[in-house]
Amino acid sequence: MTEKKQKINLSITNPKVFEVVKMVISILIALAITLVILFMISDNPVRAIVTILTGPLTKRRYIGSVIESFIPYAFSGLAAGVLFKSGAFNLGGEGIFIISGVSIAAVACNQLTTSGVLHPILCFLAAIVTGGILMIIPSFLKAKFGTNEMVVSLMLNSIYSGVAMFIIRKFLLTTTTSTIGSRDYFKTAKIGYIFEPLRISPCLILLIITTIVMYLIMFKSRLGYQIRLAGTNPKFAEYSGISAFKLSIVTAVIAGILCGMGASCQLLTQTSFYLPEQSLVGIGFSGMLLSMLGRNNPIGIVVAAFLIKYLEQGTSILYFVDRAVPSEIVAIVEGIVILLISSQYFLRGFREKKLLKEGLEKDAK
Amino acid sequence: MGETILKLDKVTKVYPNGTVANRDINMEFEKGEIHSIVGENGAGKSTLMKMIFGIESPSSGTITYKGEEVHFASSLDAIKAGIGMVHQHFMLIPSFSVVDNIILGDEPKNGIFLDRREAVRKTQEVSDRYNFELDVTEKVSALSVAKKQKVEILKTLYRDAELIILDEPTSVLTPQETEKLFEQLRSFKKQGHTILFISHKLEEVKQISDRISVIRNGVSKGTYRNDELTMEQLTNLIIGRDLESDIDRYKTHEDFHNEKAAVIEDLCLERNGKPVLDHVSLAVKKGEILGIAGVEGNGQLDLVRCITGLEKTKYEGKIMICDTDTSGMNIKGRRDLGMAYIPEDRMGDGIAGPLPISDNMISTYYTRDDINTKLFMDNRAIDRISNELIDTFAVKTESNKTSVDSLSGGNIQKVVVAREYNTRPKFMIAEQPTHGIDIGSAEFVHHKLIELRNSGVGILLVSADLNEVMDLSDRIIVMFDGQIAGYFKNARNVTDQELGMFMLGASHQTPEEIGGALND
Ligand SMILES: Nc1ncnc2c1ncn2[C@@H]1O[C@H](COP(=O)(O)OP(=O)(O)OP(=O)(O)O)[C@@H](O)[C@H]1O
Ligand SMILES: [Mg+2]
């Protein structure tokens, strides 16, 4: 059996090929269902679907907006992916995003440095440290006191958004408008564009590097191996000499750092002030969906984030031409795709029939 | 010929990964017979049983039960039809108590409420009838593998099914417990129940069966009447050749000058206020196998947990591994000293089921230089090593990327043994090392253990299989009630009756005699 060079099996019986085929077919089905819905609500369904699918490409500004807005979501997805892979049901990304926003605002609203390079970096560091430390809490409490990390993390989400409100009101409140938000950042804190027309900022480069690093960590490194073991059977990990406690802290820190990066990208490129009730809400939770869509694979997650943001952009463009189509239609696509790719049964019968034939043929030899 | 209760007609099963586990199997089972199914690891026995019990569905072919073609959608349907099954890998809910597991789905009612007292009384009574010595209010997660096995058996017998499937129920039972179970099976048979029995212990099969069916490589090799088969013929049918007679396993090995691989002194452990280990002292020398005999539950498990560092309760006494005091060390530290451990609970401790074989083959030495580059793990080296181990230990699989939980029970055990073997240990703890492994492969695993011993490894062997302990060990100790009750300097000069007396607490040596376990 050693050194048996196998021809690469491109048929659906190869699990990896099957996974991809399943993904593509899921997306197609979701789009088909969307089309059916469009037929019901829109006078011009074909135009509608064409607009959704190609709209973002029609103007530089549109695709630029996709590129800019998907970045924080991708970071959030990466964070959720690490946590889920390690077997932690920590849903704290949402709160971590919001609370690291406060750190960012605090640094960005103070002229700590006059360097336009150093200032954003300081903001990043503040967010990363905040995220990395606070994300530990649910894992720590679970390891030490056996509390349920899902409950704790959800509770912390509420607490953090309250705390964020408090700090902003008390220390950083804007005086120019009546909304509850931070003052405008100093100009030096803003992240500029490298290529303005497509809104490409250093954040995109950071995301690409981070994705590659996360991929290497998950699939090539010893840490990734430990995460896989502990995520599938914690008792086995312990038996093998892997400290579950240490590992849960390390993964939480990584996830926290990723959230901090995501929050920084969101706040330092898209806005010049921080509104705790708006600026970052929902990104943490979306990350969990993305990690499901991307099957906890860093590259899959980032691609999923891009596609979802692309579709959202498409529907919002459609809204200008066809008011009958609500932008929530994206949520339908998202929901159907997740349902289909996470279903064990979808396409299984088809694959098994092929397997039966192949298996019997091989066996007969 | 009696009346046919169950008939399999050209039953074929292909698993989603393409493995053909059963191929055109035709078999008939008669009402009121004890019918054994035998075959090597991965032959397809469990798969066939799972199809009868509705857990898997046949890819093609038909199953006829009581004259009607059946297509069970799940095991619930099978249970309703009067079929019960004892699973090779337990289907128990760990966080439930023993009672709750046993009565699940068939609760004694008091009006509309669960009659708990009645449930406890009834289950305790059944348990006592088999001398299973279970406390039925205990949580299943706290039980040893042997106890879980007993719960699994009780769960099925409790329902009084008409057709009872037992998939390797005896592999962790002591001979006495097996005998009790057999008595019950014979009485079930008298009442007209049909029993399908799977075991790798051929003496058991010969002892209990009316008829025997043989499966090899997923294909049926026919059904025979027990009395028309000799042991040799049976062996030959199963593995397609005769079993080589034992090559000299006691070849005098090198002298390791009484060096110790592990020393345990005055080990005491209390659990819930009760002493479970009571001043246990022993030494495992380099180049020897020290066997521990004893009825399960007399402290063997606790002893091993203390030595490995998995025990969470604080123990008293001293444990030295390779001349290093291990106090305060966790299992990682102890492994780093050269300890390897084949755990009795292979599904719980020994594998990560959904991960590929390759990942499972290296978990206890994944930081080692030969499978790592500076920054990353060396996937090519991991593939090479895991493929080598798959070959050496004859793990039946398509590739090293197959997930471990889609292997057959015996093959999973081989993965665990292969991995621990490959840690290059200085001291090995082997708990039930051949649990669920077929006769041919068990022989092989024994050879591997002897080979390790001859190269200077000290091995502590714990097994419910008395023959295994007597055959492999150089010295033997017997544990009873948390103490060492007997010590035998020369394992060759002991009989199983003698050991039996100590195992049941009928004999006890003097402290001086027992002291030999540490000092010889
Ligand atoms: N869930 C599964 N998915 C894929 N293949 C499987 C699965 N379960 C079993 N197999 C394969 O089917 C074959 C038969 O397995 P089965 O468990 O029936 O063997 P067995 O005769 O019970 O062996 P053992 O004596 O080791 O328990 C093996 O090659 C095994 O790898
Ligand atoms: Mg089996």
| Structure confidence at residue B325 (pLDDT) | 93
Using alpha carbons, select from B1, B103, B11, B76 the residue that is nearest to residue B49. B11
Same CATH topology for B4-239 and B258-338+425-519: the answer is: yes
For ligand 1, atom 2, the nearest C-alpha belongs to: B406
- The 10s digit of each residue's pLDDT in B421-444 is 999 999 999 999 998 888 888 888
Q: Confidence band (pLDDT; 50, 70, 90) for B419?
A: very high
What's chain A's average pLDDT? Answer: 86
- Indicate whether A237 pLDDT > 90: yes
Question: Which ligand 1 atom is nearest residue B410's CA?
Answer: 26
**How confident is the model over B71-82, as a mean pLDDT?**
90
For residue B157, the surrounding DSSP H or E stretch is helix B145-157
For ligand 1, atom 6, the nearest C-alpha belongs to: B406
**How confident is the model over A274-281, as a mean pLDDT?**
86
pTM strictly above 0.90: no
Separation between Cα atoms, residue B377 and residue B385, nearest integer Å: 13
Interface test with B, best of A213, A215, A233, A357 (most B CBs within 10 A): A233
The C-alpha of A237 sits at a distance from chain B's nearest C-alpha, in angstroms, of 8
Domain boundary assignment for chain A: 65-302
- The 10s digit of each residue's pLDDT in B203-213 is 999 999 999 99
Q: A282: which 2 tokens?
A: 């929902």
Q: Confidence band (pLDDT; 50, 70, 90) for B296?
A: confident
Q: For B69, what's the count of Cα atoms within 13 Å in the CB-facing half-sphere?
A: 6
Q: Judging by DSSP bridges, how do beta strands B289-293 and B458-462 pair with one another?
A: parallel
CATH architecture of B4-239: 3-Layer(aba) Sandwich (3.40)
Chain position carrying tokens 């569905």: B57
Q: Confidence band (pLDDT; 50, 70, 90) for A112?
A: confident
Q: Is the dihedral of CA B412, B413, B414, B415 positive or negative?
A: positive
**How confident is the model over B449-465, as a mean pLDDT?**
92
CATH architecture of B258-338+425-519: 3-Layer(aba) Sandwich (3.40)
Number of Cβ pairs closer than 8 Å across A and B?
101
- The 10s digit of each residue's pLDDT in B160-203 is 788 999 999 888 888 878 888 898 889 889 888 999 999 999 99
B59 with A352: Cβ contact below 8 A? yes
B359 with A358: Cβ contact below 8 A? no
Separation between Cα atoms, residue B323 and residue B343, nearest integer Å: 23
Residues 6+ apart with CB under 8 A from A318: A48, A51, A52, A55, A325
Using alpha carbons, select from B77, B33, B380 the residue that is nearest to residue B212. B33
DSSP-assigned beta bridge partners for residue A15: none
| Structure confidence at residue A262 (pLDDT) | 96
Domain boundary assignment for chain B: 4-239, 258-338+425-519, 350-424
Work out the percent of chain B whose per-residue pLDDT is above 90: 51
**How confident is the model over A166-191, as a mean pLDDT?**
83
- The 10s digit of each residue's pLDDT in A298-341 is 999 999 999 889 988 888 888 888 777 777 777 887 788 777 77
**How confident is the model over B210-229, as a mean pLDDT?**
92
| Structure confidence at residue A48 (pLDDT) | 83
- Indicate whether A41 pLDDT > 90: no
CB B464 within 8 A of CB B173: yes
User: Measured between CB atoms, does A147 come within 8 Å of chain B?
Assistant: no
The C-alpha of B219 sits at a distance from chain A's nearest C-alpha, in angstroms, of 11
B366 with A222: Cβ contact below 8 A? yes
User: Measured between CB atoms, does A16 come within 8 Å of chain B?
Assistant: no
User: Measured between CB atoms, does A361 come within 8 Å of chain B?
Assistant: no
- Indicate whether A4 pLDDT > 50: no
The C-alpha of B475 sits at a distance from chain A's nearest C-alpha, in angstroms, of 28
For ligand 1, atom 7, the nearest C-alpha belongs to: B406
